[in-house]
C-alpha cells in the first residue's frame, strides 16, 4: 500500500514538472508510460491547486503557477487515507535527517549502524524502505563488502586505532591527539575500547595487557595492520615484526598476524567498528577533555554495544563471550610482563648507540645505521635491520656512562685497560682520591678519562694531599666526578684557610699592641700599593 502511494506521489510530481517545462500530454505519455487520461487528470488537478496555469486558453501550453511544488515525500494533492498519512509522517521525520544519513552512507557506514545511531521510534524495516525509496541503497556497494571470515572461539583478537580529536592541553598549552585503541574478538564480537593519548610502544603494550586482563585469558592470535610498534617492515608474504612485540607475544603465547599492506578488509570486524566508535564520541565535550571522563563515556556506550544483539550471529556479544569464547582462551602467564622501553636511534660514528643517557658499543660497520634499542630494568638489547647486534647489562651506576665489550675495543684501548698504576699513584694522595680515579676510569671514555686522571694527580704540585683528598670526597658526595668541581672546591678551601689565618693574625696583634693598632698585613698592603 505504502509503496503504491509513494510511487503515485512521485509520478504526479513528474507529470506536473513536465507540464511546467513546456511538454505536451502526448510527449509526457511517452516519458512516463502512463495513460493519457491519467496525465490529463493530473493536469486538471495541478491547475486546480495552482501549480500550473495555461499560457493562452485553448493552446494547451502551460507555465508554472503561483504555488510551488512541495518537497518529496509530501504529496502535491490532498490524501485522505490514514495509513498513507502515517507513512508520510514517518518519512517526513526521516527527511530532517536526510543530510546526516547521506553523509554516513558516503563514509561507508553500514545501514544497520546508521539505524542504531539515528534513534528514531520507527521499525528497522520502515527505515530500510526509506533508504530504498531515496536510492540510498544504490550507493552501498554490497559486492565490495568483505567476505566474512568465520573465526573459532578464542582464535583471534582484531585490534585497530582511530583518531578522535585534537585537544589543547590546559596545563602546557600544547596540542595533543586523542585516539582510541579498539579490540574485537573474532568469534563473539565482544568489543573493548581504550582512550589513549599516545600510540608509542610502551602505551600500546600496556593497552594490550589491560585487554588480556579484562578477558581473563589470551587469544591464540592477534591481528593488526602494520604500525611501526608492531611491524618494522610490511610485506604481503613475510613481514618483519618488531623484536619488542615478538618478545611480548612470546611471553603471552599468541601468534602475530600482520595483515598485507592495503588490506583492511581482512580485519573487517574491527574496521567496521572504527566509525561506530567515532560516532559514540560525537556527544563528548572535547573542549573540557579529561582522560578519566572520556574513558567513562566510552565504557557506558560500549557496555550497551556488548549487550545489543549483533547483526551476524543475532546474539549478545557478552553472552557469547562468557558462554562460549572465554573457556577457549589460553591462560594468562604466571608472571607479569616486564614493560620495556623501545627507541629508534642511529649508531654514532664512534660505534656507540645512545639509550636513556647511557652509551652502548656495537661493531664499527654499523656506524650511521638506524638501530632499534629495547631496554628493561636489567638488559639493553640492540637490533639493526632485524639482526641482533648485542645485549648489555643495563648501566645503573650514575658514575658510568659507557659500556663496551673487549672485542669492540681498539688496540690502544686494550693497552690502556690496566688501571692499576693510576690507582696506586692516587692512593698516595688518599683513599678518596683513589676512589675518585676509579669512578673516572669506570666510565670507559678512553683518553678523555686519562686526561682527567692526570689533571687530578698533578694537583699535589700546588695543593696539599689533605685538601685534595677532602674535595674528592665532597665531589663524590655531590655526584660531580669531574675536575671543574674539584678546582672549585679547592679554591673555596684555600679562601677559608686564608680567612682563618688572617683572623688569627689580627687577634694576636691586637692582644700584643693594643685595640686600635693596625695589623702588619694592612701595612704590607699599603707598601705594595705605594711601590
CA–CA dist 379, 247 (Å, integer)? 13
Residue 51 CB coordination number (10 Å): 26
| Pairing between β-strand 402-403 and β-strand 358-361 as defined by DSSP bridges | parallel
Q: What's residue 215's pLDDT? A: 93
pTM over 0.75: no
How far from 9 is each of 66, 71, 89, 133, CA to CA, in Å?
Answer: 20, 11, 14, 12
| Pairing between β-strand 231-233 and β-strand 240-241 as defined by DSSP bridges | antiparallel
Q: Where are the alpha helices (DSSP H) in 109-233?
A: 111-118, 124-133, 201-215
C-alpha closest to that of 44 among 56, 52, 55: 52
Q: Which residues contact 220 (CB under 8 A, 6 or more apart)?
A: 154, 155, 156, 254, 255, 330
At 485, give phi and psi (nearest 5°). Answer: -65, -40
Q: What's residue 209's pLDDT? A: 92
Q: What domains, with CATH codes, occur in the chain?
A: 1-96 (1.10.10), 97-139 (no CATH), 156-328 (3.30.420.10), 341-408 (no CATH), 410-531 (no CATH)
Q: What's residue 520's pLDDT? A: 59
Q: What's residue 161's pLDDT? A: 86
Residue 428 CB coordination number (10 Å): 11
Identify the residue whose cell numbers are 568465520: 150
How far from 73 is each of 33, 89, 275, CA to CA, in Å?
Answer: 21, 9, 30
Block means of pLDDT (10 residues each) for the chain, 531 residues, are: 73 87 86 86 87 77 82 70 53 76 73 68 75 70 48 87 84 85 91 90 90 93 86 81 87 89 57 74 82 88 84 83 93 84 88 91 90 88 88 87 81 55 81 87 71 83 86 88 86 72 57 56 57 47
Q: Where are the alpha helices (DSSP H) in 281-334?
A: 291-307, 317-320
167, 289 in Cβ contact below 8 A? yes
Q: What's residue 146's pLDDT? A: 44
Amino acid at each position: 500500500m505504502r509503496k503504491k502511494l509513494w510511487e503515485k506521489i512521485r509520478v504526479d510530481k513528474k507529470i506536473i514538472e513536465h507540464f511546467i517545462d513546456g511538454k505536451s500530454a502526448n510527449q509526457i505519455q511517452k516519458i512516463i508510460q502512463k495513460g493519457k487520461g491519467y496525465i490529463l487528470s493530473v493536469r486538471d488537478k495541478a491547475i486546480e491547486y495552482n501549480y500550473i496555469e495555461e499560457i493562452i486558453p485553448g493552446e494547451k501550453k502551460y507555465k508554472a503557477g503561483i504555488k510551488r511544488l512541495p518537497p518529496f515525500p509530501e504529496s502535491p494533492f490532498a490524501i485522505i487515507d490514514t495509513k498513507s498519512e502515517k507513512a508520510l509522517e514517518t518519512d517526513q521525520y526521516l527527511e530532517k535527517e536526510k543530510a546526516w544519513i547521506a553523509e554516513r552512507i558516503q563514509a561507508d557506514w553500514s545501514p544497520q549502524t546508521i539505524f542504531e545511531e539515528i534513534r528514531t521510534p520507527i521499525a528497522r524495516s520502515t527505515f530500510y524502505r526509506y533508504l530504498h525509496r531515496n536510492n540510498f541503497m544504490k550507493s552501498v556497494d554490497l559486492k565490495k563488502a568483505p567476505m566474512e571470515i568465520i573465526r573459532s572461539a578464542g582464535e583471534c583478537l582484531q585490534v585497530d586505532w582511530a583518531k578522535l580529536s585534537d585537544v589543547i592541553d590546559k596545563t602546557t598549552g600544547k596540542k595533543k591527539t586523542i585516539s582510541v585503541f579498539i579490540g574485537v574478538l573474532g568469534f563473539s564480537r565482544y568489543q573493548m575500547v581504550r582512550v589513549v593519548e599516545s600510540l608509542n610502544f610502551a602505551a600500546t603494550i600496556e593497552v594490550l595487557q589491560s585487554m588480556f586482563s579484562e578477558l581473563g585469558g589470551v587469544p591464540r592470535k592477534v591481528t593488526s595492520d602494520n604500525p611501526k610498534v608492531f611491524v618494522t617492515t610490511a610485506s604481503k608474504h613475510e613481514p618483519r615484526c618488531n623484536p619488542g612485540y615478538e618478545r611480548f607475544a612470546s611471553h603471552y603465547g599468541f601468534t602475530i598476524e600482520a595483515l598485507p599492506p592495503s588490506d583492511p578488509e581482512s580485519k573487517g570486524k574491527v574496521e567496521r567498528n572504527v566509525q561506530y566508535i567515532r560516532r559514540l564520541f560525537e556527544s563528548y565535550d572535547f573542549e573540557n577533555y579529561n582522560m578519566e571522563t572520556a574513558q567513562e563515556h566510552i565504557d557506558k556506550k560500549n557496555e550497551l554495544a556488548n549487550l545489543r544483539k549483533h547483526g551476524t550471529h543475532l546474539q549478545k556479544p557478552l553472552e557469547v563471550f562468557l558462554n562460549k569464547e572465554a573457556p577457549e582462551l589460553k591462560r594468562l602467564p604466571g608472571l607479569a610482563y616486564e614493560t620495556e622501553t623501545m627507541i629508534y636511534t642511529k649508531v654514532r660514528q664512534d660505534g656507540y648507540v645512545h639509550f636513556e643517557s647511557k652509551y652502548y658499543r656495537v661493531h664499527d660497520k654499523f656506524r650511521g645505521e638506524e638501530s632499534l634499542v629495547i631496554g628493561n630494568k636489567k638488559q639493553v638489547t640492540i637490533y639493526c635491520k632485524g639482526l641482533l647486534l648485542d645485549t648489555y647489562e643495563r648501566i645503573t651506576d650514575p658514575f658510568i656512562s659507557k659500556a663496551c665489550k673487549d672485542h669492540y675495543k681498539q688496540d690502544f684501548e686494550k693497552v690502556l685497560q690496566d688501571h692499576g698504576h693510576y690507582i696506586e699513584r692516587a692512593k698516595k694522595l688518599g683513599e678518596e682520591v683513589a676512589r675518585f680515579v676509579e669512578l673516572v676510569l669506570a666510565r670507559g671514555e678512553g683518553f678523555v678519562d686519562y686526561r682527567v686522571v692526570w689533571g687530578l694527580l698533578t694537583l699535589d704540585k700546588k695543593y696539599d694531599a689533605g685538601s685534595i683528598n677532602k674535595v674528592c670526597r665532597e665531589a663524590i658526595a655531590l655526584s660531580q666526578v669531574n675536575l671543574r668541581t674539584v678546582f672549585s672546591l679547592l679554591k673555596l678551601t684555600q679562601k677559608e684557610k686564608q680567612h682563618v689565618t688572617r683572623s688569627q693574625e689580627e687577634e694576636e696583634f691586637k692582644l700584643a699592641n693594643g685595640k686600635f693598632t693596625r695589623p702588619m698585613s694592612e701595612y704590607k698592603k699599603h707598601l705594595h700599593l705605594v711601590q
